[in-house]
Structure 1
Amino acid sequence: MVPGSVKIAIVGSGPAGLSAAARAAELGLSHVLLEAESWLSNTIYRYQKGKHVMAEPDVLPLRSPLAFTAGKREAILEAWNSGTAKLGVNVAHRARVSAIGGQKGAFTITLDGGATLQAEAVVLGIGLQGNLRKLGCPGEDLDWVQYQLDDPDEYKGETIVVVGAGDAAIENAIALAENNKVYILNRRDEFDRAKPGNLSGILKAIEDGKLTCLYNTKPVAAEDTPSGKRLRVATNDGETELAVDRVIARLGATPPRAFVESTGIQFPSKDPNSVPAVSAQYESNVPGLYIIGALAGFPLIKQAMNQGYEVIEFIEGRTVEPADTPLLRDKFAVLPEITDIEEALATMQRRVPILKPLTPLQMREFMIDSDIRAPADGETIFELNDYTDTFYSIVSGTVEIQVDPADPSKKFTLGKGEFFGEMSLISGRRRSATVRAGEKCVLIETPRRSMNKLINSVAAVKRVIDEVFLRRIIQGKIAPTLPPEEIADLVSSAEVRQFRPGEVLFNEGDAGDALHLIRKGSVTVSREIGGKDVVLAYVPAGQYVGEMALVSDLPRSATARAAVATETIRLDGVAFKDLMMRRTQVRDRVQEVYRSRVAQNAVAQARPMGDVLEFMMSQGLGEATDVLLIDESLCVRCDQCEKACSDTHGNVSRLKREAGPTFDHLHVPTSCRHCEHPHCMKDCPPDAIKRAPNGEVHITDACIGCGNCERNCPYGVIQMGIQSKTRPSLWRWMLFGGEEPGRYHPAKKDKSAKKATKCDMCKDLDGGPACVRACPTGAAMRASPEQFVKLYRGGR
């Protein structure tokens, strides 16, 4: 029943609203919980039957009169139903709110049908499920395209495509795969928004062949054709068509903006994904009108329930420390002068423009993922050519960027509010400069995974990073001495282009209309000689191609193709030529590269390497930073490389000499490639895989043995097992057989937890990789793609 007047009206009975109403009832406050449906918590109610609901984040305590622990959907709903009944929560079912007006102390809430009630304060916990995102392509409203799954057991023997990479899509796909043929479409190359449990589940299901994942794939059209239902999709390898029975799209939802804005609440931007800004007490710009839960940007159940408890305390005028404050206080421990966490967070947002689009609640989550650093004056943050990939925001002070170690004069300063580290974050390549702290420098250091999550969820952040990346890479590679205004026209002409493996950037004989800066991936340059396509060069991320035709004003002299999935920045040829005409230093710099390329191409034509380079690309050279190679003409099969690896790494060899493919005399054993964007680092729940400053990708003791890295590695170079305390000698093994030295073959009764292991390039040893040092004939070598090209052409 809807009362005529209450102190607190709570709209929506999701986890946040339920918790708020339960706390109000517990305190004996006049309240009403308005729910549009005939049941509580419609979002949880609409979960698929039998769904396991997680209680995350683990580090947060629960604050609520209602119980909540991880478990099945049905058990959680039953606990909440009985809990609200026991507390005497005043629930009004079938009470859909159509309007909210008035002001603090005197709000008028209008329901469908015209009934009204008065409230001193209003708490919005309405969630987002009424505004589901659709496919965004023709056919999105066909009757076999749906956006909800109630009971996966209803479907049997069908071919179903699940579109999405979040928790709902993963859970739907896994459940449907029990009785159906299932594809899951992921627009990106990893499940970076999933909870750890779901992450492990989907990767295991893919590995076991229970379902098929199409990465970097998006729907183009859903169509009814004479031959049946079809979903056309775009992949890295081109467009393809899937015969389907149904499509289930789980793409999240957007805030019910029209309704929310009608109450007077403002959104920080026009971005459809933006959420209303609220204070640390969850109060919106309308005094007395509060927002909690998913609508405030926090969809996790435990967070929402904590907010429901806390908002009632705030309305009652009590001071309550948010549940995450102790975690934030630990972050700020390096700045002992900080006593007020709320003010410190607000100050950081004011000082760092890239963080301004975040709501205060999003800012708290961002800071929990990040670290605060206060380096000493002159301290090195990272060195040129380091392989670290964290992102830095400057809160105060300055940093000095040294771009050329041979010329100390080539440096510039970044100050308060700016950021750096975006080059390695985006390209996966080595650091492009050395950075040192200035006086009174304070930095926010954010891990790659957390930064990518922010970029993918807040469009304004991505836009700013992309703009700065464009300007800085153009300055760094083409015009390092020019101020930003001098290259403004060139920057404005820039377009980000994406290419699938093997796709052509430009063809031999084309007009030179643009220059391509390689932002991610790598490119091969080839020329037709004697009717055959001959590869002349390999060009990695951070370099550019296409300058030769612009300098010479002749047609393209070669064809450029993406070696792997590649992203470039296309610079308009007219704007580029205009800059060269105006600035001699730019022209001289480009002409120097041009002359070098002409010389390289002459050498390449004398010793073509098309077939061997194609072979190496198939073995991951295009995305590698370091590959172990064995010259079969020199190798005597002594296995000293494996023995040295085993001796160095606790009786566990990280390479298999005999395994792996061979081309001509070149053998690629099973050993880590240390990829630019390591596949193994994706979807690592404990973030246990790190990249050392020199580029070595290694696994730390934080490994929990989930096996995600082993499943994600396309080259089979990661092992799961238990480190052996002893091993037979090499000669004993060769003579009598038995367990291979250094391999993972634990006894069946051994209950020790398995861990992941892989080559770490002997990063902690002087002298380089033990396998290379132990080779008596010099057959083993480790090389970057660039070094390999030079070695091969030199007749290694």
Structure 2
Amino acid sequence: MNYLYLYGAVIVAIMVFYIRRQQRISSKGTAVLNEAIESGMVEPPSLHPVVDLIRCMGSGSCARACPENALAVVNGKAVLVNAAHCIGHGACMSACPVEAIKLVFGTEKRGIDIPNISPGFETNVSGIYIAGELGGMGLIRKAAEQGRQAIESIRKKTGGQADFDVVIVGCGPAGISAGLSSIQHKLRYKILEQEDSLGGAVYHYPRQKIAMTAPVELAIIGQVKFDEVSKETLLQFWLDVVKKTGLAISFRERMESIEKAGDHFVVTTNTSSYTTRTVLLSMGRRGTPRKLEVPGEEFPKVMYRLADPAQFEGQAVLVVGGGDSALEAAIALSEQKDTDVILSYRSSSFSRVKQKNRMMLEQQQKAGRLRVMLNSKVNSIHEHEVEINFEGASKMYPNEAIIVCAGGLLPTPLLQKIGIQFDTKFGRE
């Protein structure tokens, strides 16, 4: 009889521990969700998970698999509590043991335009193809597969006299895969990449690991399988692939227009123009970085992302913007030794930013490690200075680097000008 009491006590203790643990997890998730609501950060930027609450068993596998901590278990169910930080890599969907998660674009309140493409990845404009994130596929392995399949369709298309068989815009997973397939099929190809690095959206992932849980087939390379791989490891893999295969990529060359010219297309960039039989658009949905449109912005010291704060140690750096990326860049720079940091923002206050970033910014500001200029505007950029209009007066400030965090211009208007048709998604696959 004593044994029964003992077993009963153990079971009760385990249940109490489990319930209290679930309460703590739920409380933490609720706090994150409330903070996001207060900050106005409840709309996901692109591809994101939707949880089937009937099927969800609250195991928390999805939350543990998400490096961005975008998901949490609240009241026994998985909830997207940090929507603005979700980047749609699908690790949560792969980790769910009961398949209760699907990835969708848009929400009931905010639709996202997705181009209409055929099973062969051709748009309604004959000769123009789309693969990867721009076409609605944010998963790395599937984007790479789409790049390969798009070239399979392109190589079968006949007609058209031009310098190239295909111009590939963007060198993320879809673009790299398409380039490898072009080499395999002996196509005349040109890859354009507006930035100075490959990897596309992967390059910008602020996280420790990403998931590639299924094999991906790459032309020339063969089948590649990653279980869990860090961002850095994956980027190094792509670099090794480029080196091994001799894949040619034109970095810092931005597509500006595509025009039909008889039986071919003319692709104009910021440096040149090319004639091509077909075009494969494999760029991401980040679009072209939004510029300041001020004199001197062409100086090499002007950048549109912060890759390594340590490289700016001891320099005078200006950060422009008022979102989380701008605040995080300013904070990271202010932590470098002897770095003089100014954060300039055109509005009178920061909105839609995480409370944690707001507090850290105030902390660094009080410590004298950075200066915040609200209601300010950059007038002009010079080799060793920058002119800023602040508090009604324009003044020159010493400057060695400028990080512009003003978001991006989606390529939708450019594609619509070409004639590509879109479907607006409101939380649908």
Report the TM-score range of the alignment, normalised by the length of the smaller protein: 0.3 to 0.5
Q: Which has the higher contact order (CA 8 A, sep 6+)?
A: 2
TM-score relative to the length of structure 2: 0.40
TM-score relative to the length of structure 1: 0.24
